Every structure is written in C-alpha cells, then in structure tokens.
Structure 1
Amino acid sequence: MPDGLDPEQRAAVEAPRGPVCVLAGAGTGKTRTITHRIAHLVVRGHVAAGQVLAVTFTARAAGEMRTRLRALGVHGAQARTFHAAALRQLRYFWPRVVGGPHWQLIDGNKLRLVAQAANRVGLSTESDSLRDLAGEIEWSKASLIAPESYPLAAERAHRDTPAPADQVVRVYQTYEQLKNDACLLDFDDLLLHTAAALEEHGEVAEEFRDRYRCFVVDEYQDVTPLQQRVLDAWLGPRDDLTVVGDASQTIYSFAGASPRPLLDFPRRFPDATVVRLERDYRSTPQVVGLANNVLRFARGRPAGSRLRLVGQRPDGPEPAFTEFDDESVEAAAVAQRAKALLDAGVAASEIAVLYRVNAQSELFEQALAELGIPYQVRGGERFFQRAEVRRAVLALRGAGAPDGGLPDVVRQVLAPLGLTDEPPTGGAARQTWESLLALVELAEEFAATVESADLPAFVVELDLRAEAQHPPTVEGVTLASLHAAKGLEWDAVFLVGLVEGTVPILHADGDEAAIEEERRLLYVGVTRAREHLWLSWALARAPGGRRYRRRSRFLHGLVPEDHPAALVARREPAQRRPRPRCRICDSQLTDTRGVKLGRCVTCPSDVDEDLLTRLRSWRAGRAKELKVPAYVVFTDATLVAIAEQRPEDVAGLVTIAGIGAAKLDRFGADVLALVQGKR
C-alpha cells in the first residue's frame, strides 16, 4: 500500500470487507481514498478486480477513477456512471428478460416526444414549457412516482408545476405511451428495467451477483430513490458496499436526489465502519474557515452528518468581499482582477467565475472579452448561442424600425417571447426571462451611449458583440453555474451576484428546505477555491438604476466587521417582513404553497369550484393571447387562493401572494369581474 494516506484515509482504505461509510468533506481526498480501498481489497485477495463495480454520477468522475485505479496496478475493475452500468447490464440480459430486438436509447431528442405528448394534451410546445415538463417527468421517474401518483407527490414536495397537475399527468402518460410504442428507452428506463430484471428474474440476479461482489458508490448524497433501488437490486442480501458522500454538498434535491440513504447508512447496516474525512488538502485555512462559517447557521442538519473541515495547506490571502453599485461595474472589476491574476502568473484555466443562473454569464463574457481574456462557458451555452437569445435576435432583426425609445421597443418585441413584467418563479421560463431582460439592459446601455440609437443599429451591435466573443478554449477562464462547478476546483474563484433573489434564488423563499439547499450551493462554490476567493454583489442591476438590492442573507456573519457593507448593515438594519399566517388557524406559514394559498395546506379549503373553473378558462385564453405558458399569467396556487378568498376589491386582491403591481394592472379588472360573476 503506497504511503501518503492520513490516519482517517488509511482507516477507510484498510476497513474489512463489508459495509463502509466514508463521510468525506470537500477537498479531503475522497477519490484517492476509495481508489486505494479498491486496490487494497484486490491486492490482499479479498476480491478480484473484475468483481468490483464502482459507480459515480459523471462520466468525467468515472474516467478519473479508472485512471487512478490503473496507476495503482488495478486492471479490470469497472468504474462507470449509474446509467452506463445499467445500459451495459440491460443489453447483456435483454434476450432473456425481454426478448426480441433491443429497444433503442432516445438519441438526446427527448423533447420531441414531450412536444408530441404536450400537443395531444393541448399544452404549449414552446421550448421552455417542454423543458419544464420533461423535468417533471424525470423527477417523477427518479423518485419512483407513477403518473397517477404525481399530483399528491408534487404537492407534498412543493413542486412549482409547469401546468395543472392533472395535465402534467396526462403529458407523462402520453409520453410513456409514445415512447413504448416506438420501442424507445430514456435514461431513467435503463435504471428501471435493470432493477426489474434483477428483482423479477432469479437466474439473472444470481448470474449478476456471481459476477460482481464488491460495490463502491461515490457522491452517495446525490442518490435518487431509483438509483437506490438499482443498488439494492445489485446487492441483494449482501453487504459488501462502500459509500462515500457529504450531506453538506446535497444540491440536487430538485431532481430527486436525497442524502437520506447516506444519513441512514449506519442504521441500515449496524455493523458498518464509519470514517469521517475532515482534513482539507485543497484549500487554504482562510478559505476553509469561510466554508465552515457558511454552514454555521444552517438549519436541519443531523448531528452525525456535520463535518468541520480542517485546512492542511499553508496560509493564504483572506477571502475578499466587495459591494458594487451595479452589475456592469461588478463584471468589469472581476475581469480586471482576473487580468491581475494572469499577469501574476496564474493560468487562465485556474480561474473561475461562478454564478447562480446561466443568464448571469453575459456581462462577464463581455467584460472578459473587452480585456482580451479567453474564457470558456461550462454547463451552459454561451449567451449569444442560447436558443432564447437566438430567437430574440431574430425577432429584433425582423421588427424593422418601429417608433419609440429603443429600450421600450426592445421590450415590446421580446414580450411575446417570455419577457413578462414580473419574473416567473423558476424553471426554464425563469432562465429565458433572465436572458431576455439582459438584452433589454444592453439596449438601455446602447441608448445611453450612442446618439440616435435605433433598433437596426442595436441589432448590428448585437451581431458585433456575438462575433467578438472568444470561442471556448482549454486555456481560458471558466464561467460556470454553481451547479456545473460541482466536483471541480480552481486556484482562484469569483463568486458573483450574491444578492437576495439570486442566492438564495427567489422561488426558494418561504421553503426552509429549499433555502438550506441554496446555502449548501454557496458552500459548494466556496469550497471550489484553492487559494484566492472573491465574493461580490451589486446593489443595482443596470448603471444608474435604483439601488434596491440586498446582499445575500448567507453572508450574514461572514463579512468582516470593519467592511463598509457590514457597517452600513449595522447602521441601517434590514426590515424583515413578518411571516404570513394562515387565515384559518393563524399558524405561521413556512412552505411556498401555503404562502401562496394563504392557509396551511392541511387546513380545509372552501374553494368556489365554479369560480375556479372560470378562472382557469380565462387564464388559458389570456395565456394564448399573450403567447406565454399559463402559469406566467397566474400559478395554480394563486388561482386557488382567489377562488377561496373571493376578493371583492383591489385591496383584497393584492393581499394574495403572486399578485403584484404589474399583474394587478394587467389582470386585476378581469379577475374582480370574474369573482363578481360579471364575466
């Protein structure tokens, strides 16, 4: 066994065969530990290399694991993603468990089938709507939720459904039927069919379990119920399983992932060896200290899951916090600091700018390009290559030269494409909205700096900006969302846009579990940095705009006491809005759906079903007229709240969550007329 393992890593490596749970904090050498454990088991003769199956969540991580195993002299061990392992097994066992030709894997054009299903149900086939519907189907299958069980499950999980739940069910059912009729499989089917083959065919299970005897699961905090079912089928009655994970890095709950199997592992396997890795070899003590403090105020963390990282590297610079007047100034400052790092000898590929949503990348792309700094966008398309941006530019190009101020004209052209007065609560529609709003802000900037700016000139400006972008290169500053940054690391990291409504994201507010996931997302961002870490936020969106934003609540207690932003916060304490209360039992409302309904979800509903039907019919007509998804007009929860509370005037209407000034102006008169039975 090679030297270089610390005592905790060695304890995990040399643990006897059987259940082993490694709680591994960020930067603690988990991949090194599990590959050395596999090598130890093989070298000591406990298992043959070909009897090992290690699974993780990305092809990159699986490839790294295979490379490290080969370097340790282990050849023949399988290291794959869950889906790649299931595909290989299903192809092998298909003749026995299904028979006939192999069904084909959907070639990435899944949305085509979702579009057919949505069209049959009468729902929008706009790309944003289709992505959201596909996301609900994927969440349901990953969570082992059948179509008929979706409405109740979605309500319990506080899902913001992209359409009424009964319509999502019909899309889900139709999608499954279309797929089966065409003899196609999606990625979730690979797992479902593999589990069923082992559960229902004894001889198949016996052959598989004779072939594979030792299992290793990386990033176990991100396992879904479906993946856990596959793992259980692989194991059968055996317990030769090593799992590695960190509950503090659970950031995919929206996709069905849960840390519960990791947290419950010692309960399921009472004789399990549990090892905690807390020595951080990635980051300086200053970065590690900030990471620990991010989680200091976290709620709902089971005591046994808490890891406190201990930095092992020499001291480095303190993390920097900076407040800016607007986003353009923030982006320019980040680009200047990146240039200073490059001039100091830091490689461009060792610098990253991380943000919460992909639409935030455009300003940073522009700022880096203006300084001639190469960059690559990870986990999302470059701004001018995004589908919604391409559609918007085409619409602007085809609009001619209408009268009016440039920003107003751009808003009018982009409104049918999804630029509403108020942002959608989440999903693909929110990302589209952010991208379209960024174009409006470019128009405002162009109009402020160019005399006689009109729409044709603005379109030319957009073309020039698109052409000036550097193509993605290996040696470039990385631009990535916080989710896309998981599992990666850089010498220098900029965490940008840390304002309320973005970190945490707006639609998480009111749901404590969602807020805590946003906190963990920031923790993941902080722990990507090895040495240099900058955290920043802007008080206004555009130059000269109103400075209405507040820095993220997660920065409370992190910003140094002598920082100007901290001094301002002490002089002008933020006024916290009182928590809404249930209008029936007067309990405090904490979940999103309850806040929208104005009552606890368990309290009795006095909904006027006839009014609700009329409201839904009216909403469908307005959505069609405006060419937007129905929920952009009002969500289901808001319609139910209206039908329950039956407001008699504007004052009553604005007390309902989801009805702000813009929606009151646009839809208020119609809604009151419907309530009063005049429509």
Structure 2
Amino acid sequence: MSSFIDELNDAQKAPVLHKDGPLMVIAGAGSGKTRVLTYRIAYLMAQGVDSFNILALTFTNKAAREMKERIAHIVGASEAKNLWMGTFHSVFAKLLRIDGNKLGYPANFTIYDTQDSQRLIASIIKEMGLDKDIYKYKQIQNRISSFKNSLITVKAYRNDPDLVEQDAMAKKPRTGDIYENYVDRCFKAGAMDFDDLLLRTNELLTRHPEVLAKYQDRFRYILVDEYQDTNHSQYLIVKALADRFQNICVVGDDAQSIYSFRGANISNILNFQKDYDNVGMYRLEQNYRSTRNIVNAANSIIGKNQNQIEKVVWTDNDDGPSIKIHRSTTDAEEGRFVANSIWEHRMQQQMT
C-alpha cells in the first residue's frame, strides 16, 4: 500500500489518508485532483472497505473510465470491478433499473437522449395545434429540463403562479400543458429522459424510505468529483445517500464552475461545511500543469470573485512565454475567438 501513497505530495496525501467522516478537497487547476480521488478509493479498499460499498460519481464517462483503470492497476481488476463508479446519470440509471419498478417503470425502460426528447416535444406541439414559431421545441425542451433539474414536477409547476406567469408573459401559456403531455407520453412508453434519471431517483428515495435505507447501507463511502458543478437535484441525492454514515468526500474548485447554464449551483460547494459537522478541509494548491505566468494571471482574476473558498495556487514550473491579451466586446465574440484559436493551433501543430 505504501508504494502508491508515496507517489503523492504531502498536500495530496492528507485527504487520501482521511478515512472516516466528511471532507472537502479544494483542488486548484492541474493540482492532481484525479490522482487524489483515485488513490483515496484504492486506500479505502486497502483498509478493508469492500468495493461494493464505495460510490464514486463523476461528470464524464471518460473520467470514470480512467479512474477505474488506475484503481484496477493498483488493487487489481477483480477488486475494482464491483465499484459503483460512473457519471451521475449512468449510476442512477443502474439504480433505477433495479428499483424503478416501484415508480411504475419497467426494468428495461428506454432512455431518451436530447434528440428523442425534442422530437417528442415537437410532435406534441403539432398535435396540440400550437404555433411552432412561438413554441419552439428546443426552447420548450430546455424549459422542461430546467424544471426537472430543480425538481419542479407538473403539479409543482401548476401550483407556482410565478412560473405560470413567466410563461404567459413569454406568450407561451400552454407550456404546462406541453410539460404534462410530455411526461405522460414518456411514462406510457416506459421511457425516461436524461433529466428523469435524477428526478426519478430523488422521487424513489423520497417516496420509498426502505429503498433509501438500502442504498445508504450499501454506499458507506461516497466520493463526488467536480462538486462545484452539481445541480440541486444531484445535491439532494448525494446528501440523502450520505446521511447515515456521512463518509462523504467532495472534490472541486469553486473557481472552475462551468455548468451554471445547466443549473449547477455554486452554493453546493460553498455551503458544504454547513451541511456536515467537523468537515475535514484540504487544499491542493500546487499546479503541475501550467507555467508561472498563467498561474499568476489566473490568480489575479480569481481573486476578484466576491464569494469564494480561499486558496493560493502556485507552481514550480518556469515562467513560460508572456500572456497575450485579446479584448472582446461580447461573450459570444470571446467564445468564437477562443474556438478559432484552438482550431488554428491544432492545424498548425497537426494535432488530432
């Protein structure tokens, strides 16, 4: 065991060796966050924790796959295969295939992707005889998605005069009817969309305490990557599952939150210490990836954030080339500039 632990610096070792109780790891960019998560799981297993009792949630399948491969390399493939590790959606789809029948869904329910959802919504708009230029199916799909990620069911929507008024003011007073029709059609087809995988998991754990108790007992150690990008629905699921043992480790960086447009709630990471008692707080501040000029520039910008968890990122790397400044008049122009710069760099370097 000591061999892989010795590969960590002191700041990385501390959260890995923190076995029980809640802990938060604030990981600056390029600071070895993935290595800490991976080695923490390997350490728990080396300490006798059954892989079946560990839940690790990531935001991408690629991250989950890489972590599982690293863990298998340390502890062996047979030990690693029983880990519940994956994206929020993939893990909770697995959970719903086991217990979703309690909500009336078949074990082999279909999962609609975004295009499936948009096609169904477009069909509903047409069947209801609504003006497709006002009720644009992509906008309606985004609206329904935001409802679900905030746990706003059809009933909750109809009971919220502010939401109803917002749609009326936007000249879309039938949004609630489309939502209800969409939910009914999905249910009758034995289907869930991506947002349902979170919404229905919340519903299952809330309405069936025996199911919640089963998974609380199973997931005795929970690890969440990129915690700053969790939305309200994800937050509630994790909090419910961790409530019994409170062996929860969240890793993230409030300065790297990028999914607010998907409903990510930055307060989840900012308020973590209020949700649990005696939280172990760890900071990974050494950047191994970037030049000193880049790190210092990033620090100067991040330092202006009003609400933040204090940290000072630093590096032993060289100064590197000076930073070029480009001034954009709009965020869209800035996005195009960045995308074009990346494209040009790829072409010049013949990168894939």
The TM-score with structure 2 as length reference comes to: 0.84
| Structure 1 equivalent of residue 191 of structure 2 | 184
Opposite residue 123 of structure 1, the aligned amino acid is D
Match of 2:27 among 17, 24, 28: 24
Whole-angstrom CA distance in 1 between matches of 2:212 and 2:243: 8
Whole-angstrom CA distance in 2 between matches of 1:172 and 1:200: 22
Match of 1:152 among 134, 142, 162: 162
Note the alpha carbon deviations across 1:25-75, whole angstroms, 9 max, x for none: 111111111111111111122x11221110011111111211221122251
Note the alpha carbon deviations across 1:351-407, whole angstroms, 9 max, x for none: xxx975469857986x789xx7587xxxxxxxxxxxxxxxxxxxxxxxxxxxxxxxx
Opposite residue 93 of structure 1, the aligned amino acid is D
- Give the SS at the match of 1:55: strand
- Pairwise mapping of residues 157-168 of structure 1 onto structure 2 (< 5 A)? 163-164=170-171, 166-168=173-175
Determine if the alignment matches structure 1 residue 317 to structure 2 residue 342.
no
Whole-angstrom CA distance in 2 between matches of 1:205 and 1:4: 38
Match of 2:132 among 118, 124, 144: 124
| Structure 1 equivalent of residue 178 of structure 2 | 171
CA contact (8 A) 1:53 1:79 kept: yes
| Structure 2 equivalent of residue 50 of structure 1 | 52
| Structure 2 equivalent of residue 69 of structure 1 | 71
Opposite residue 68 of structure 1, the aligned amino acid is R
| Structure 2 equivalent of residue 282 of structure 1 | 289
- Give the SS at the match of 1:72: helix
| Structure 1 equivalent of residue 12 of structure 2 | 9
Whole-angstrom CA distance in 1 between matches of 2:129 and 2:348: 48
Whole-angstrom CA distance in 2 between matches of 1:81 and 1:280: 26
CA contact (8 A) 2:227 2:252 kept: yes
Note the alpha carbon deviations across 1:571-619, whole angstroms, 9 max, x for none: xxxxxxxxxxxxxxxxxxxxxxxxxxxxxxxxxxxxxxxxxxxxxxxxx
Whole-angstrom CA distance in 1 between matches of 2:169 and 2:257: 24
CA contact (8 A) 1:18 1:272 kept: yes
Match of 2:62 among 45, 60, 65: 60
| Structure 2 equivalent of residue 88 of structure 1 | 94
Whole-angstrom CA distance in 1 between matches of 2:291 and 2:169: 43
Whole-angstrom CA distance in 2 between matches of 1:265 and 1:83: 22
CA contact (8 A) 1:139 1:254 kept: no
CA contact (8 A) 1:136 1:161 kept: no
Whole-angstrom CA distance in 2 between matches of 1:60 and 1:269: 30
Q: Which structure is higher in RCO with an 8 Å CA cutoff and minimum separation 6? A: 2
Determine if the alignment matches structure 1 residue 269 to structure 2 residue 272.
no
Opposite residue 39 of structure 1, the aligned amino acid is A
CA 1:309 to 1:123, structure 2 compared with 1: closer, same or farther past 3 Å?
farther
Whole-angstrom CA distance in 1 between matches of 2:285 and 2:119: 46
CA contact (8 A) 1:142 1:256 kept: yes
- Give the SS at the match of 2:283: strand
Structure 1 residue 274: deviation in Å? Answer: 0.8
**What percent of counterpart residues are identical?**
31
CA contact (8 A) 2:97 2:109 kept: no
Gaps in structure 1 of 5+ consecutive residues: 325-353, 376-474, 477-679
Q: Which of 1 and 2 has greater Rg?
A: 1
The TM-score with structure 1 as length reference comes to: 0.46
- Pairwise mapping of residues 453-532 of structure 1 onto structure 2 (< 5 A)? 475-476=351-352
Opposite residue 250 of structure 2, the aligned amino acid is V
Whole-angstrom CA distance in 2 between matches of 1:96 and 1:317: 59
CA 1:145 to 1:193, structure 2 compared with 1: closer, same or farther past 3 Å?
closer
Whole-angstrom CA distance in 2 between matches of 1:153 and 1:242: 35
CA 1:221 to 1:90, structure 2 compared with 1: closer, same or farther past 3 Å?
same
CA contact (8 A) 1:115 1:130 kept: yes
Whole-angstrom CA distance in 2 between matches of 1:178 and 1:243: 37
Structure 1 residue 165: deviation in Å? Answer: 5.5
CA contact (8 A) 1:129 1:162 kept: no
Structure 1 residue 258: deviation in Å? Answer: 0.6
